[in-house]
Amino acid sequence: MTSASMATAVGSVGFTQEFDPFDLTDPFEFYARSRAEEPVFYNAEIDHFVVTRYDDIKAIFTNWNLFSSENAQQPLRPLCAAAKKVMTDGGFTAYSGMSARVPPDHTRIRKIVQSCFGMRRFKAIEPDIRQIVETAIDRFAKSGAVDFYAEFARDVPAFVLFKLVGVPDKDVTMVKSWAVSRALLTWGTLTDDEQIPHAKNMVQYWDYCRALVQKRQDNPTDDLPGDLVRLQSEGADISGDEIAGVLYSILFAGHETTTTLMGNGLRELLEHRDSWNMICEDPSTITGAVDECLRFSPSIAAWRRTALADTQVAGIDIPKGANLLLVMASANRDSAVFKDADIFDIKRTDARKHLTFGYGIHACVGQQLSKMEFAITLETLSKRFPDLRLAPNQTFSFIRNSSFRVPVALNVEWDVKA
């Protein structure tokens, strides 16, 4: 089916023309109209059916036999020949560690990863997380004003994750830059020329993951890759390149998204001042606040699936092979599921039903860690700077891409005590 005939097949072209898949600045009013009037529509620019209602998205996540995740990491804008050559010549063979793998391989690998990736490991590094958070805050505490995104959120989750993975602090900046390259090549809108330096970064990134596995095989350590290599040596059915693939997944998914949660979440809490005051007065409200930030202002706004057979979603024909963009940022505001869905309320009891971490067999394996990191951050900030506020006269903008709602900056202020 061609793009044009797909657009005709789903009726109105109004929604598809109005939809800018790469603009995540303030899409919520558009999502609300889509949920009410056209909850599934085709967008030719990215060649995806866009799905905006909660129940449809949850059902698609659940039905992995029909809706596969194998397109989850495919570049939305295909790589140019020169970028592909850079990657092929450089020996880049990674594609996805987990999120775009499908059963039975996915089931086999996920089981092994989960066995060494539970709360036990996360809790064990809780003191390190507290230390990393305090140290980062100490650096700007006396200044009275900071770009919280650049000076805190960008690096803190990477330092935490690298503790878990056993990567030295000196590599943080480098790995962060590879993660940006991965995001822009996969979900962004780069021109052919712009793709080249990012393709080179991907080669370095993949080499780094493979070298990390080799290092642990030579010298086992007590960290996540060390655990995976140990399990492999004890007979677990996972290859060295599959372990490198898991690291390739985690060295991206394990920090960028938490960085964004911290940026978006703190902004929401300061914009809704009553919520911030509530946290300062009663830290037990932080758990609910974290869930509400994830629901209301998700780090990942949309994720992808592909249909393995002709089917229908909300009465719209979806042909075999079609791509679907599942807009969790819309699902999370669906009033069929959430009471007063457009109201930010850290005391609501239904926030945890949000779909920000996906759902079903691929549901995020790092969700407890990211929630713990953000909760510790809020605990520390609210204790040290109860008068924290947004700097006046700033507009909030977000990096252009289809999935990650990444703020460009978050300027905050507080009074410095003599």
Q: Which of residues 149-188 bind ligand HEM (CB under 6 A)?
A: 161
Q: Which of residues 256-315 bind ligand HEM (CB under 6 A)?
A: 257-258, 261, 299-300, 303
Residue 324 three-state SS: strand
Q: Smallest Cα–Cα separation from 50: which of 12, 79, 80? A: 12
* Packing angle, helices 172-187 and 156-165, rounded to 10: 100
Shortest reach from residue 118's CB to ligand HEM, in Å? 12
Binding span for ligand HEM by CB under 6 A among 15-23, 252-260, 310-318, 331-339: 252-260
Q: Which of residues 315-354 bind ligand HEM (CB under 6 A)?
A: none
- Dist CA 331 CA 70 (whole Å): 22
311-313 and 316-318: which strand pairing? antiparallel
79 secondary structure, DSSP code = P
Under the binding rule (CB under 6 A), the answer on residue 124 touching ligand HEM is no
Enter the tokens of residue 108: 């086999």
Q: Which is nearer to ligand HEM, 6 or 253 (CB)?
A: 253
Q: Which is nearer to ligand HEM, 330 or 370 (CB)?
A: 370
* Packing angle, helices 105-115 and 224-233, rounded to 10: 120
Q: What would the DSSP string read from start to end of 203-256?
A: HHHHHHHHHHHHHHHHS--SSHHHHHHHHHHTT-S--HHHHHHHHHHHHHHTTH
Q: Which is nearer to ligand HEM, 404 or 414 (CB)?
A: 404
Under the binding rule (CB under 6 A), the answer on residue 369 touching ligand HEM is yes
Binding span for ligand HEM by CB under 6 A among 38-46, 51-59, 251-259, 387-395: 251-259
Q: Which of residues 45-74 bind ligand HEM (CB under 6 A)?
A: 61, 69
Under the binding rule (CB under 6 A), the answer on residue 381 touching ligand HEM is no
Cis peptide before 104 (omega within 30 of 0): yes
Under the binding rule (CB under 6 A), the answer on residue 363 touching ligand HEM is yes
Chain residue whose CB lies nearest ligand HEM: 366
Under the binding rule (CB under 6 A), the answer on residue 76 touching ligand HEM is no
Shortest reach from residue 261's CB to ligand HEM, in Å? 4
Shortest reach from residue 279's CB to ligand HEM, in Å? 18
CA Rg, the chain, in Å?
21
411-413 and 389-390: which strand pairing? antiparallel
List of residues contacting ligand HEM (CB under 6 A)? 61, 69, 98-99, 110, 161, 249-250, 253-254, 257-258, 261, 299-300, 303, 356-360, 362-366, 369-370
